[in-house]
Amino acid sequence: LPGRTATDPGVGVDSVGGRVVVAWNLLDEGGVAAISVSSPGARRTIPGSRAAQLQHRVGVTGRIGASGVYVAYIAGDNQFTGRPAVWRFGAGRGRLVSRTTGARDICVAPAPGGRLWVFWHRDGRLFATRSDPAATRFGAVVSLDPPRGTRSLHDLAGEGSRGPLDLMALLTRARTGTANWHQRVLPGLTLSVVAVRRGLVTFRVLDAGVPVPGARVSVAGARSRRTRAGGLVSFRLAPGSHRATAAKRDYAPGSVRVRAG
């Protein structure tokens, strides 16, 4: 690989065009680099990737049934304050998937329909988010705790080709020492308020920007209702503050607070 010292390489394959891309950390220069090895070209360094995290294999993958190879990296100049991001090989710049700072050991895995899972850990917790089918928008970030007694998280890996993310973590526990831990993660729903007018409140349920019909939205003190086409549902609520929750099978729930006037 070109460069003075290349470490932690990963490889991804475009499932449509067959392009093979290798990505790695630049130990001496700083940053994350990638190169096409099936149709040789110049090395590309991902803009804003100087927060490279050494001793963690660079996450790089193609998509299922869709074109493109994507690299997961930490955006910023400092690995302790960087944000999780993905970069499509050949693009001018990457895309943040969350504004969370201090992300560690970021990974990427393909999901059905061209979607991508991106996941990482920070301050002893794990985080994951899934994209839309175009891999241009990301949904709600789902957070979870490792098993009780975990002292530290060391690295992550995951597989998402069935839809949910099967996440594996290498961790240290107080009694048993180093161990591997598995958790199935469901994509998160985003519940938002789109209109409040004379006590009539309209909510929308989305999955990474894609409307979700058939989700059940519940508000305390009101009968729950299911979203219609466009992911929309309306409630007539009494004046005051209300908490609404959206749920659907194969999704992690989402919630929002609203004040009805």
Residues 237/243, Cβ–Cβ less than 8 Å: no
| Mean pLDDT, rounded, of the chain | 94
Instruction: Give the pLDDT mean for 202-218.
Output: 98
pTM of the prediction?
0.94
Q: 221 falls in which pLDDT band (50, 70, 90)?
A: confident
The whole-angstrom separation of Cα 13 and Cα 127 is 25
With a CB cutoff of 8 Å and minimum separation 6, the contacts of 116 are 61, 63, 70, 86, 108, 109, 110, 130, 131, 135, 160
Q: 39 falls in which pLDDT band (50, 70, 90)?
A: confident
Closest to 82 in 3D by CA, of 101, 105, 106: 101
The whole-angstrom separation of Cα 109 and Cα 167 is 10
- DSSP letters for 141-193: PEEEPPPTTEEEEEEEEEE-TTSSEEEEEEEEETTTEEEEEEEEEPPBPEEEE
Q: Helix (H, G, I), strand (E, B), or coil: what is residue 63?
A: strand
* Confidence at residue 51, expressed as pLDDT on a 0 to 100 scale: 85
* Confidence at residue 54, expressed as pLDDT on a 0 to 100 scale: 84
The whole-angstrom separation of Cα 232 and Cα 192 is 10
The whole-angstrom separation of Cα 185 and Cα 128 is 8
Q: Distance from first CA to last CA of the chain, Å, rounded? A: 62
The whole-angstrom separation of Cα 85 and Cα 121 is 13
The whole-angstrom separation of Cα 189 and Cα 210 is 10
Residues 46/32, Cβ–Cβ less than 8 Å: yes
Residue 52: pLDDT over 90:
no
The whole-angstrom separation of Cα 131 and Cα 114 is 9
Q: 192 falls in which pLDDT band (50, 70, 90)?
A: very high
Instruction: Dump pLDDT digits (tens) for 84-130.
Output: 999 999 999 999 999 989 999 999 999 999 999 999 999 999 999 99
The whole-angstrom separation of Cα 176 and Cα 47 is 41
Instruction: Give the pLDDT mean for 209-235.
Output: 95
How many CA atoms lie less than 13 Å away from 180 in the CB half-sphere?
7
Q: 78 falls in which pLDDT band (50, 70, 90)?
A: confident
Residue 184: pLDDT over 80:
yes
* Confidence at residue 30, expressed as pLDDT on a 0 to 100 scale: 84
Tokens of 203: 């909510």
